Structures are given as C-alpha cells and as structure tokens.
Structure 1
Amino acid sequence: MCAQDQEWFEDSLTKPEEIKRTARILDIVLLIATFPRTYQRKHLVERFEVSSRMIDKDLQIIRHGLRLPLMRDQSGYYFERTPDLPMLKLGFTEALALLIAVQSAKGVSGLGGTELASAIARLESLFPDEYTTMLRQLAKPAPLESHYQRRQKILTLLTRAQIEKRKLRIVYETASRHGEISERVVRPYALVPYVRSWQLIAYCEKRQDVLMFKVDRILDAVMLDVFYEIPADFDLDRYMGGAWGMMRAGEEAIEEVVLLFDPDAGRWVAEEQWHKSQQVEHLENGSVLFKVRIPITPEFINWVMYYGAKVKVLRPPHLRKRIVEEHQRAAQRNQEE
C-alpha cells in the first residue's frame, strides 16, 4: 500500500464514517470480482447511496491502495486478475465474502469470541499485505443499524445465496394488496440494480414461477441448507423481454425509438449504458441522437418525460403524441386553482 493510502487508513481508524467506507470498498471489490462486467459507476452510486465523486475515490483506493488491476468496458468494471490465496481451497471472491461474513458475526451474541478471533486472524493472514489495515477496520464497532445497513445485510445474504446456490426463506411485503406480508422459499437467479434500489430475480416455490422481488421489501431472509441449480435455459434478457428498466415487457412489440436531446441533457444521457440496444450519436451542434429498440412501457414514457423540453421524440409518432398529451395534462392540472 502506498504511503498516502496507508496514512489515510491510519488517520481514519477511529472514524465511524471511514469504517463504513472501508466496508463499502471491500463490498465493491467483492461485487466486481464476483460479477465482472456487470456494475457501472451509476450502479455503485445507486447501491451504496453515495455520490459519484465518492465512488471515484473508492475506485482509486482499489486501484492504487489495494493494487488490483481494475479495468472498465461498456458493460462495467472488472479485474484483469485477482490475488492468489495460498493454502486455501477457496477463490479470492469466496474468501473475501467469508471474511466479511465472519467479521459481521462478531456482533452476534452466542458465538465464541476466541474461535472467531482465531478464524479472522487465519483468514486475514492469507491476504496480501495491502489488505491488512483495511480488513482490520471491519472489527471496529458499527453505528446503530440504518435503512442503508439493513439493505446491505440483505444484499450480502442474497449475494452469498446466489454464489453458493442455496435456497432462501424470505418474509416479503407486497406493493399491492395493502402491503400483505407473506413467507416464501426462493431460489435466487440474479440480483439487478435499479434506480436507488435492487431487484431480486428468483424462482418462487410458492408461486412456482420466476418473479421479481424488490430488495427493500424483503423484511427478513434466512439461508437454507438446501441447494438448487439455475436452469440452463434461463436467460435474464429473455426473461425481461428486452424491456427498459425493470418493468417486464408484456405483449408490446419491440420498436425503434429515436430521441433528440439538447446538449446539456444529451451529455449526461450519453455517459450511461441505459439499454443493450442503444446507439448514441453526437451531432455537431452538441445535441445527442439517441436510438434504442424496446417495447414502449409506462416506465420508458416516464423516463422520457423526466427530460421535459430538453428532449424531442423523433420516432415513433405515437410515442411523440403520448408525450405531448401527458405534458399537456400535467400543465393543465398545475394551472387549476
């Protein structure tokens, strides 16, 4: 670890915010190593609920402090390689997940302190020196649990279940039916970031179908000692139907949508990968031509409306008409006394 990063860690050992940051950095390493080319910067911002600038600083620590060869392409971040851990029949990602889980277990009553301390010391000794200070920060007392921390606990458990292919028993609060609470056993297939939350794609044994569960509505989750396999023919893109966002396409046909963004909005839109089919063209006047092939869902209509006068719908005509009508309806409502 370089001197500047070492100094940062030593100065921050007693700061709760920096302890949380340390845990976040290790979570980012684990996510990228486990799911390469999946997470873009916007996904990390949404998951950890911090600014883009803070995520950029975290990524610099990963590159220069932990000396991991962090790379990025259109699909997301990935590591060219990860450290070899001698004398351990676990991969890097499995060992890091295990160590984080063991550190978390220190706060659970009934677990032997001596045995846990020994396990932590053994696991820490397997990692390169660059990780030592950061890993030990996880031993610091955590502040009272917040909404963010509860979500992190659930996400960590879901990720472990997905990696280990173990079923989960969850307590879930539905968005409809007046917030009905139910218990069900699920088999996690995918964990997908969306806006400021996450969606779990899983097979529900109660409904006997693949469903989407909003992570923030999972009130409790327990990992079972029952294993499962994801069907070989399951394809996430096919399941989503090429949809925009997390609203699955129904009977809507896939159409080519062409939008013209003003320079300010276009610059921001062009920075992100919104859909696998998108094409972006920068025009001489600074405007951005945005093309995408999708079923036009209410979710996509809301996304277009968000940009107001900064976007013009060029195709298809029925979408342009719908956007005009929605804006007129909104203007009329706001003019009412």
Structure 2
Amino acid sequence: MNTDRIVTICRMLSLSRRAVPLQVFLDELEISRATFKRDLASLRDRFGAPIVYDRDAGGYRFDSSSPDGSVYELPGLWFSASELYALLAAHRLLEQIEPGILADHLAPLQSRLAELLGAGGHPVQEIERRVRILSIARRRVEPRFFAHVAAALMRRHRIEIDAWNRARDEVNTRVVSPQRLVHYRDNWYLDAFCHWRGALRSFALDTLRRVRLLPQKAQEISDAQLDAHYTGAYGIFAGMPTAQAVLRFSAERARWVRAEVWHPKQQQEDLPDGGLRLTVPYADERELMMDILRHGRHVTVEAPQSLRQRMAEEVAVLAARYGVGLASAS
C-alpha cells in the first residue's frame, strides 16, 4: 500500500463536489486500473472508507448517507510525502530561528513525523542534509524569557521587564502589555504597550534581563492601531511616517531591488536607462541609511534634502576614516 496514493485518493474525493471519474484517478496518480482497484479495496477494508461508485454520475464518491452527516477522514494523522517534507522543513526553520526555544515542545511532533516518513520510505536525514537556514546577525535570546513573553502574550497578561537600553547602556524596569511577537531580520521583538511611557514600544527580546508575569490583564490595543503604529514607517523604527525617501538605483542594482519589498506602501518607477526610482515612507532614518549604504555607489538619495545631508555626512566620515578625500574618491 502506498500511503501517498491513499492520502491523495481521499483528498480528491473530499474536495470534489461531484463524483470523480476513474480516468481522473489514473491520470492524477499515474497508476494502472488494477493498482487503483487495490488501493480502493485497502481504503474500504482497512480504513472503513465509505467509497461508492455512482453510475449516474459516472465516478466515485464518498457515501453521503452517514448517520451524523460528517465527511469521512482517514483515522489518525495522515500526510502525503510532500506535506511531511514541508512540515519538517518548517520545523527546521523554527529550530534554526532560535535553537532551544521550541525544541522540547516540538520534539514529540518531530518524532512522529520522522516515523511517518520512515514508514513511507522517506529518510528524515535527507531533510536535515538538504534544508539549510542561514541566519545573519542573529542575537541569542534566553529561552525562558521567550517562553515567559509568549505565555503572557497568549494569556493576555501584563509583564514586568528589565530591559537594557543599548544606546544609553542602562537597564530600565517597565510594566508592559504584550501585543505581538515579531521575528524581523533574524531577531525577535516584542511589540507592547508600555505603561511607564503610556505609549506603544518595541523591545528586542535579547535585551531583556528579567521577565515577571503579572496578574493584571493586558491593555488591549486594536489591530488597526498596531498596524498604523508599527507598519506605517520603514523598518523596525515604528511611528507615523514623517518623510518619503526617494532613492534612485542604477540599472545593474535595479535588477535585484525591483523584486524587493522595502515597505508595503512603497512606490516604484522604472527609468529609461534601466534604473529604478523607489519611494518609501520613514519616520527614523537610521535603519534606512544602513540599507542605502549597502548598495554603495549604485544608489542615490534624491529626496528629502535632510536625508541627502545625513548620507553626505556619513560618507564624509567614512572617507576620512580611510584616509581618502571626497574629491579624490569621486
């Protein structure tokens, strides 16, 4: 018995609004009539599948005369090989996003998936060999802090945190109402309402030094308010946009940037020379400047003037640090 075919036959019958002709099964599964008949017999005898042949409709369907009116499902946990591969690849992703955080919770699932793959002749070792997740500049998070924050988030409770401010090199104690966990550029952030500041704030989870669950219920903030605050401007620096950055990319670099999403509300304009003009809203230029700098001479800031000035100052400092004058560098 081929488990892939068994799952596919049941799925085809469940999803179809009418009887499925024999030839459709043979074409989809790429099997002979005899093989299909054997699979059908296995489904009926071993799994009690109420599959009947409807002569009027000219195909197979599930018997709709079930006493409780329910649709037949295979007993237990069933996946096709492709679904199992996808699940294990997703598990691999979670495992490498932050090693150790979910390992204990996902271990039973991983074990069960490995059994199912093994039964179908698909070695789980291949997934581990073939799927690679490359993380850049990932900062390690204390697993227990992640678990505490996630628990408070889902239970809708406030938490007291000691958060390290990197810019000022100081630790502040705050009470916050968790709103969302965000995985952004290989690092975890907590979007929360800060009761100390009386406003929405984001906290990098790796900066947390202590987390304590509080009995008070979290203050609820609507999705519309969260989206307006956290996705209105460019990058991780939240807030309402204060300016529009207009960036002109060379024809060479435009081949990459044209396929990128820098911001949900960005605007793109193809230029006659093959280049690209990209416009993105921003509230804080720090992260935007880093992304501009990685494109080097292939990007020009056209507007606003304040951002052009900041970029010019940054480039001047870099040139001086390498002992190169701006005139000679150009």
**Alignment equivalent of 2:226, drawn from 206, 226, 236:** 236
1:277 shift after superposition: 1.2
State the number of aligned residues.
221
Separation in structure 2 between the aligned mates of residue 103 and residue 131 of structure 1, nearest angstrom:
22
Per-residue CA deviation, residues 150-187 of structure 1 (Å, 9 max, x unaligned), is 4455444433432332322333222244333x443321
**Alignment equivalent of 1:166, drawn from 147, 157, 164:** 157
Which is greater in Rg? Answer: 2
Partner of 1:254: 243
Please tell me whether residue 103 in structure 1 is matched to residue 104 in structure 2.
Answer: yes
**Alignment equivalent of 1:303, drawn from 274, 291, 294:** 291
Per-residue CA deviation, residues 116-140 of structure 1 (Å, 9 max, x unaligned), is xxxx79xx99xx9579998xxxxxx
The secondary structure found in structure 1 opposite 2:193 is strand
The letter of the residue matching 1:217 is: T
Percent pairwise identity: 24
Name structure 1 gaps, 5 residues minimum: 3-60, 71-76, 78-99, 107-119, 135-146
Separation in structure 1 between the aligned mates of residue 207 and residue 253 of structure 2, nearest angstrom:
32
Please tell me whether residue 65 in structure 1 is matched to residue 84 in structure 2.
Answer: yes
**Alignment equivalent of 1:320, drawn from 283, 308, 315:** 308
TM-score, normalised relative to structure 1? 0.50
1:291 shift after superposition: 2.0
Query: Contact (CA 8 Å) 1:66, 1:131: kept in 2 or not?
Result: no
TM-score, normalised relative to structure 2? 0.51
Separation in structure 1 between the aligned mates of residue 106 and residue 183 of structure 2, nearest angstrom:
26
Partner of 1:22: none
Separation in structure 2 between the aligned mates of residue 261 and residue 304 of structure 1, nearest angstrom:
10
Separation in structure 2 between the aligned mates of residue 262 and residue 64 of structure 1, nearest angstrom:
41
The secondary structure found in structure 1 opposite 2:170 is coil
Separation in structure 1 between the aligned mates of residue 232 and residue 239 of structure 2, nearest angstrom:
7
Please tell me whether residue 193 in structure 1 is matched to residue 193 in structure 2.
Answer: no
1:101 shift after superposition: 6.7
Partner of 2:254: 266
Do the aligned partners of residues 63 and 166 (structure 1) sit closer, same or farther apart at CA in structure 2, a change above 3 Å counting? farther
The letter of the residue matching 1:276 is: P
1:63 shift after superposition: 5.7
The letter of the residue matching 1:209 is: A
Separation in structure 2 between the aligned mates of residue 226 and residue 66 of structure 1, nearest angstrom:
42
Separation in structure 2 between the aligned mates of residue 175 and residue 309 of structure 1, nearest angstrom:
31
Do the aligned partners of residues 304 and 176 (structure 1) sit closer, same or farther apart at CA in structure 2, a change above 3 Å counting? closer
Per-residue CA deviation, residues 53-106 of structure 1 (Å, 9 max, x unaligned), is xxxxxxxx99632567x9xxxxxx9xxxxxxxxxxxxxxxxxxxxxx9793599
The secondary structure found in structure 2 opposite 1:158 is helix
